[in-house]
Copies of this chain bind each other. A is one copy, B any other.
Amino acid sequence: MALWLEQTAPDFETRFSAFLSTKREVSEDVNAVVHAIIDDVRARGDAALVDYSKRFDGIDLAATGIRVTDEEVDKAFAETDREVIDALKFAAERIEKHHARQMPKDDIYEDAIGVGLGSRWTAIEAVGLYVPGGTASYPSSVLMNALPAKVAGVPRVVMVVPAGGGSINPAVLAAARISGVTEIYRVGGAQAVAALAYGTDTIAPVAKIVGPGNAYVAAAKRQVFGIVGIDMIAGPSEVLILADKDNDPDWIAADLLAQAEHDAGAQSILITDDAEFGKSVEAAVERQLKTLSRAETAAASWRDFGAVILVENFEAALPLANRIAAEHLELAVADPDALMAGIRNAGAIFIGRHTPEVIGDYVGGSNHVLPTARSARFSSGLGVLDFVKRTSILRLGPDQLRQLAPAAITLAHSEGLDAHARSVAIRMNAHPPQDEG
């Protein structure tokens, strides 16, 4: 049974605050181990990858090769159910179309006094995508991470994926092909992150690393940050559902469980204005749990981190929703648009009773890599902007320099930076260079 909170209870603020600050992850300190692995890959390159893959993944890369060949991808593609391939292609097309709209435009202009200013966007030259092995090896995540890079125009999209026991999920390789991944290597863990950041004889270094991973991968990404860019470090998934009594309790229960089945640390929260409806949803959750393949995980998540919050009305729920800053927010109410206007913090909003969050996981077109653990207060989901960077541009002629120089010189002197002042002043009292004379 999940936590039950009522907004009108006198101890609500205390209990809600405590609920908000509950830790849902055990943070393993693997920094020292990861540091040693990174140093070893920097020193020994491919040989270190071979050693670690033997030890951690039970695979002999010296025999299989580090790079996954085109023929292997062909074979994986052929082995994957036709229905799954079609669904991946269907999803990819929708994701690509939506993300194409995110591509920022250059903005180069002259201001009123003729100063040329601008923002120019260029794609990152090479990106590495980490894909976990085992049960967390999701083809849909390959699409969500690789397609925005493709849309951004990244020329080199490199995927690393551990081949535990020698094999890689064929659907993951199929998804890589569908989403335009240009190179695939069968390595995982901190060693794969190190190889992407520093390069080995086989794997040329990239400029940014994205994608989910375990504690070792996360620690490795933090440690190589600066040498390369990284995406956010994702925590367990979460959903917040605002639902009135006109919903089918079974639909809402199914949505809560879809989140809970991800991970024992996942979090599903229902906010409703009707106690009886809340109780019905709770009952439906218990009922549905009985027939779920991942019942144990989902039950643990719902028991340890789930909550039903009763409010007097949905207007009063808005400050709570903004503090929760959920990764996923469903608005299953009669007038979702009115509510949405009051939402400031959410990774993604799913509007109305026919928009289960799961659609966004796969085929909605939007990205399913979204800010977790309240980080929607300050960050956004993955998108094309994560694969481009902006260069600012400034262009002055002698006239413009003359107009801007006095203020620049004043500020430079006031900051004690005389060489700054000179760099401007020296251009004031001199003959211009010959080609602009």
Contact = CB atoms under 8 A, between A and B. Distances in A.
A33 interface: no
Nearest to A222: B222
Interface stretch (A69-77, A307-315, A345-353): A345-353
Contacts of A220: none
Contact of A356 (B84, B86, B389, B423): B423
Q: Which 8 residue pairs of A and B lie closest in terms of their CB atoms, listed nearest first?
A: A229-B378, A380-B390, A87-B407, A351-B395, A366-B392, A258-B423, A261-B419, A254-B423
Given A258-B419, A348-B391, A383-B390, A139 B376 contact: no
A349 B371 CA distance: 32
A253 to B, nearest CB: 9
B391 A349 contact: yes
A392 B349 contact: yes
B416 A135 contact: yes
Given A88-B411, A115-B364, A358-B423, 13 more contacts: A101-B107, A115-B365, A139-B414, A246-B434, A251-B430, A292-B419, A294-B418, A334-B435, A347-B391, A358-B412, A358-B420, A359-B408, A376-B389
Dominant secondary structure of chain A at its interface with chain B: mixed
Q: Which of A401, A415, A426 has the most CB of B within 10 A?
A: A415
A233 B226 contact: yes
A122 B344 CA distance: 6
Interface of A: 81, 83-84, 86-88, 90-91, 94, 97-98, 101-102, 104, 107, 109, 111, 115-117, 119-120, 122, 124-125, 135, 138-140, 171, 207-208, 226, 228-229, 233, 246-248, 250-251, 254-255, 257-258, 260-262, 288, 292-294, 298, 334, 340, 343-367, 370-371, 373, 375-381, 383, 385, 389-398, 400-401, 404-408, 410-412, 414-424, 426-427, 430, 432-436
26 contacts: A84-B414, A87-B411, A90-B407, A91-B411, A101-B119, A111-B365, A116-B351, A124-B377, A125-B377, A207-B377, A208-B378, A246-B434, A257-B423, A260-B419, A288-B422, A294-B416, A347-B392, A352-B395, A354-B397, A358-B412, A359-B401, A364-B394, A364-B404, A366-B394, A371-B389, A380-B391
A351 B424 contact: no
Contacts of A98: 111, 117
Nearest to A361: B420
Nearest to A171: B414
A229 to B, nearest CB: 3
A98 B416 CA distance: 26
A117 to B, nearest CB: 6
